[in-house]
Amino acid sequence: MELVERMLKGDRLALAKLITLVENRSPEISNIMARLYPHTGKAHVIGITGAPGVGKSSLVDKIIASLRKKDIKIGVIAVDPSSPFSGGALLGDRIRMQSHATDPGVFIRSMACRGHLGGLAFATQDTALLLDAFGYEIILIETVGVGQSEISIAQAADTTVLVTMPSTGDTIQVMKAGIMEIGDIFVVNKADQEGADKTVVELETMLMLGTQTRDWTPPIVKTIASNGEGIEELWDRIQGHKKFLSQDSRLKERHIAQIKGEIHNIIAEKLEKRIWDGLLNDARFAQLLEKIESRELDPYTAVEALWEALK
Amino acid sequence: MELVERMLKGDRLALAKLITLVENRSPEISNIMARLYPHTGKAHVIGITGAPGVGKSSLVDKIIASLRKKDIKIGVIAVDPSSPFSGGALLGDRIRMQSHATDPGVFIRSMACRGHLGGLAFATQDTALLLDAFGYEIILIETVGVGQSEISIAQAADTTVLVTMPSTGDTIQVMKAGIMEIGDIFVVNKADQEGADKTVVELETMLMLGTQTRDWTPPIVKTIASNGEGIEELWDRIQGHKKFLSQDSRLKERHIAQIKGEIHNIIAEKLEKRIWDGLLNDARFAQLLEKIESRELDPYTAVEALWEALK
């Protein structure tokens, strides 16, 4: 793997090519990752998530600028949940981040949705490993949305930042989305808008009402990404969480959970390729579908029959 | 399966119990579904989806009221994407729908998140089959959110209604969520709020810009769920889409795609139970995780070894 050797020597083009291989789930991935894996485990991976429109990209932009002043090398994965049907990616927000495009200490990559559920989380996790092996000290994973796939992406992070904004209605809608528990740090962005303090109080209340017993009390930070206010405090809070994780075996436990997720993904992908793809190309499977559609057969009995045949 | 026989005779309690079995992924599901499946395929399944706060539940409430006046029997699955961590469900919105609780022509069921990605979509699809077999002519699946899991739930519907509201910013945020292509009908709810016409124009533009060539042009309907305005027009549009699907082999194609999804889910669940659960209970797997965490081994090589062992 000449590409891997070049990447490990600091070749950004090689890194970009490897990410593309990972995104496209190339069959070479196992060899690539086996070679790279010993070089990983050093970066601090930070997930930035929240509903569309709360200003995550501006926030990430300002975090990059702040870290670069401290001469910290940073990799950014901007996960774009664009349509699984068109495969395209809307890069509007990305344009702002391009102000860092010529800085060798920053690497920004957008990732669009893959064909199947979970595929995006998988590609994101492997890309984070690539950036880690390349030597980026901080890896930011920005995800848009509040669905289950975003939660699974967040679970690949060491520290998860949940971004919200002063709510027009009530914050209950955020809680409904069911992502409160994954937040290590909460941000109320656009804090110059009306209702910021009310939103902070609502978040505090919900965190108190949470049934989970935690050793860590998630701090709530007010930011105004447009002018950079609160970014330094946010960074301090992230460092505080990193320090917290380094106590006892907490970071190791998070890493083990991440590895478990990665292994689950690898197994699922293998099965998907060997079994499902085979079925889709099998004319007898098409006949089976017709029989089920006409209610001659039910799907569960069909799978039992397939299962026996697969053995 | 006495429960199934009772359910087919119109026993609502038996139906409720069967849904619980499906939700908990009981091992009896295969037998239940095999018995019920011949009685399915008659209902029109309608997905109602959109971001939190746009008023989907109020809309569903008004659709139920309207259909009951027409003496149409209706089953509702309210998918609540509550936390995958606490397992709880926030039922605030459900309360409104309880005005129909004593009406035997209506059956409402809330579903909370299951443990793993895709599990919710699976339980929802099977529940829709149960309601179909029971004799509900219309099945509404209400999902909150704009993530991939909501998209996969929507794919189980014959007609998908995407609900939005006059946007505070610009509608690009909706498009960013990447669900434009799954909408058969668009609703701008809260149409008495400022910006409703602007939102309609933005949606029209985005639909025109869409790369997909469609035989069907998704209509855009303005509604005010709070006072029922636009509900009848929405219903007419849904009927129009049903009529469109009945031309040529379109409905059959949608059903085949749904069955394909169901079979994929059944296979994935089987593999999950037989392989993954086995690993999690294996002490050697815990040792393997430790080795990967310390970078003695990489996850891809580990899976290769596991794969050989599984054979």
Mean pLDDT for chain B?
83
Tell me which of A31-35, B221-225, B241-245, B266-270 is least confident: B266-270
**pLDDT tens, residue by residue, A197-245:** 998 998 888 888 765 566 888 999 999 999 999 999 999 999 999 999 9
Contact A156, A47 (CB under 8 A): yes
**pLDDT tens, residue by residue, B277-301:** 888 888 889 999 999 999 999 999 9
pLDDT of residue B161: 93
Residue of B nearest to A181 (CA): B85
Considering the segment(s) B41-248 as one domain, its CATH architecture is 3-Layer(aba) Sandwich (3.40)
Q: List, edge to edge, every strand of the sheet that includes B185-188.
A: B106-112, B74-80, B138-144, B44-50, B159-164, B185-188, B220-222
Cβ of residue A299 closer than 8 Å to a chain B Cβ: yes
Cβ of residue B47 closer than 8 Å to a chain A Cβ: no
Which among B135, B133, B132 has a CA at the least distance from the CA of B35? B133
Contacts B255 to A, Cβ<8 Å = 293
Mean pLDDT value of segment A278-305: 90
Which among A129, A162, A149 has a CA at the least distance from the CA of A47? A162
Contacts A299 to B, Cβ<8 Å = 33, 37, 259, 262-263, 266
Q: Do B300 and A30 touch (CB under 8 A)?
A: yes
Which among B180, B192, B103 has a CA at the least distance from the CA of B146? B180
pLDDT of residue A228: 94
Instruction: Give the percent of chain A with pLDDT over 70.
Output: 81
Residue A54: band (very low, low, confident or very high) from pLDDT cuts 50, 70, 90: confident
**pLDDT tens, residue by residue, B109-160:** 888 655 454 567 788 899 999 999 999 999 999 886 655 556 677 678 999 9
Query: Which phi-psi region, left, alpha or beta, contains residue B162 (left: φ > 0; alpha: ψ -120 to 50)?
Result: beta
If you ran DSSP here, which 8-state letter would residue A273 be given? I
Between A104 and A75, whose confidence is greater? A75
pLDDT of B11 above 60: yes
Tell me which of A5-9, A116-120, A171-175 is least confident: A171-175
Mean pLDDT value of segment A99-114: 77
- A94, A300, A304: best to mutate for the B interface, most B CBs within 10 A: A300
pLDDT of residue A171: 52
Q: Where are the domains of chain A?
A: 2-265, 266-310
As for the ipTM of the complex, it is 0.81
CA distance linking residue B20 with residue A201, whole number of Å = 37
Cβ of residue B300 closer than 8 Å to a chain A Cβ: yes
Element (H, E) at B52: none
pLDDT of residue B26: 86
Instruction: Give the percent of chain A with pLDDT over 90.
Output: 47
pLDDT of B90 above 50: no
Residue A84: band (very low, low, confident or very high) from pLDDT cuts 50, 70, 90: very low
Which residues have C-beta within 8 Å of that of residue B261, sequence separation ≥ 6?
Answer: B121, B125, B152, B155, B156
Residue A276: band (very low, low, confident or very high) from pLDDT cuts 50, 70, 90: confident
Report helix, strand or coil for A210. coil
pLDDT of residue A120: 73
Residue A85: band (very low, low, confident or very high) from pLDDT cuts 50, 70, 90: very low
Contacts A297 to B, Cβ<8 Å = 37
**pLDDT tens, residue by residue, B66-80:** 999 999 999 999 886
pLDDT of residue A266: 87
pLDDT of residue B69: 94
Number of H-type helices and E-type strands within chain A: 14, 7
Between A115 and B279, whose confidence is greater? B279
Contacts B277 to A, Cβ<8 Å = none
Between A7 and B268, whose confidence is greater? A7
CA distance linking residue A307 with residue B270, whole number of Å = 9
Which range in A201-205, B105-109, B222-226, B267-271 is most confidently predicted, on average pLDDT?
B222-226
pLDDT of B216 above 70: yes
Mean pLDDT value of segment B29-50: 92
If you ran DSSP here, which 8-state letter would residue B143 be given? E
pLDDT of residue B53: 78
- B29, B57, B132, B259: best to mutate for the A interface, most A CBs within 10 A: B259
CATH of A2-265, one of 1.20.1250.20, 1.10.1240.10, 3.40.50.300, 3.10.520.10: 3.40.50.300
pLDDT of residue B178: 57
Between B171 and B109, whose confidence is greater? B109
pLDDT of residue A51: 75
pLDDT of residue A309: 76
Instruction: Give the percent of chain B with pLDDT over 70.
Output: 81
Q: Do A145 and B144 touch (CB under 8 A)?
A: no
Contact A156, A258 (CB under 8 A): yes
pLDDT of residue A83: 37
